[in-house]
Copies of this chain bind each other. A is one copy, B any other.
């Protein structure tokens, strides 16, 4: 057994949870029923007090750790979750589900609408962070988990953690909010809308019903991802990784084929993404980001919006993250402190930009490990 496997949760089998009751959504829409795909890692203890919920970000899913086929671990948070890792599956029972509206097994635009026998497409209702948390709470009910030892997430996942902490304070002991924000800035909303416009104006979009035309809005989704990818990295990370290096040549050819390495890298990222992600889901996820703003319910007062929270918090930001800057995390920290909550905050020096929350950054993993050791103290043994 290699080292990779010694610290991996190994082969995992996704599971499906069916919900037959109607789900009333924040938008006023409704789903008559839905299903969520999820994975679990580690052993659950007798009273489920070691359960940790992982909330995923924009373009990931339930497959946070381990592997399905082959034998190479390929979960999106492999650095974080596993035996001996910061979220240690020797201690915790870890659950991660694909969010409602997703494209990797949970009910979403690309799944079959039982009412029509065809994919939902544009008829899938708009979903919000609040809806996701509600759906996750129903999953917790079904699994018999009354209270999470911790709810943990980065980026859009961190928004779900915030929502859990205020919506179900009695069901969450610790909240770990990484590289997140209490609301998007105008710049963020702008980038999201450019991405949406790229997709929605692609002639292959067919008003969202591209499934029935046997096509996908490949060009638009590719451009959206290329742009998004730039914003997940820092300028200095791109400078270190690519600089002005040319691709397989010494001098310019003065053509539109990629000349710089950064061009072929971004195009490759775009191409890969199109093959694994559904455009309608991308639209829904970006809208969920835009809509999230708990303070708006309280006349813009974030202190008031978080006043119901009782969890202990770890809030983390990354110095070079310009999409969700450290200042956005400090806003959250100030509001939590105003509510006299236990809050640990660290701004981690890291060059990798917003993507840092997914990466093997020793200071970051060290802090997570230390905090999760503290979380482990709430587990009841015996």
CB-defined interface of A204-234 with B at 8 Å, one 1/0 digit per residue? Answer: 0000000000000001001100110010010
A193 with B244: CB separation less than 8 A: no
A267 with B187: CB separation less than 8 A: no
CB-defined interface of A176-200 with B at 8 Å, one 1/0 digit per residue? Answer: 0000000111110111011011101
Q: How far is the CA of A302 from the CA of B256 in the complex (A)?
A: 27
Within 8 A of B (CB), among A230-257: 230, 233, 235, 238-239, 241-244, 252, 254-256
CB proximity of A170 to chain B, nearest CB, Å:
29
Binds B, one of A42-50, A258-266, A340-348: A258-266
Q: How far is the CA of A287 from the CA of B202 in the complex (A)?
A: 24
Which residues of B have CB within 8 Å of A29? 254
Q: Which of B183, B219, B258 contacts A202 (CB 8 A)?
A: B219
Query: Chain copies in the assembly?
Result: 2
Within 8 A of B (CB), among A279-326: 283, 287, 290-291, 293, 296, 322
Q: How far is the CA of A198 from the CA of B220 in the complex (A)?
A: 8
Which residues of B have CB within 8 Å of A252? 27, 291
What is the interface residue range for chain A against chain B? 35 or more
A197 with B267: CB separation less than 8 A: yes
Q: How far is the CA of A6 from the CA of B106 in the complex (A)?
A: 66
Which residues of B have CB within 8 Å of A322? 235, 322
A226 with B194: CB separation less than 8 A: yes
B290 with A187: CB separation less than 8 A: no
Which residues of B have CB within 8 Å of A26? 254
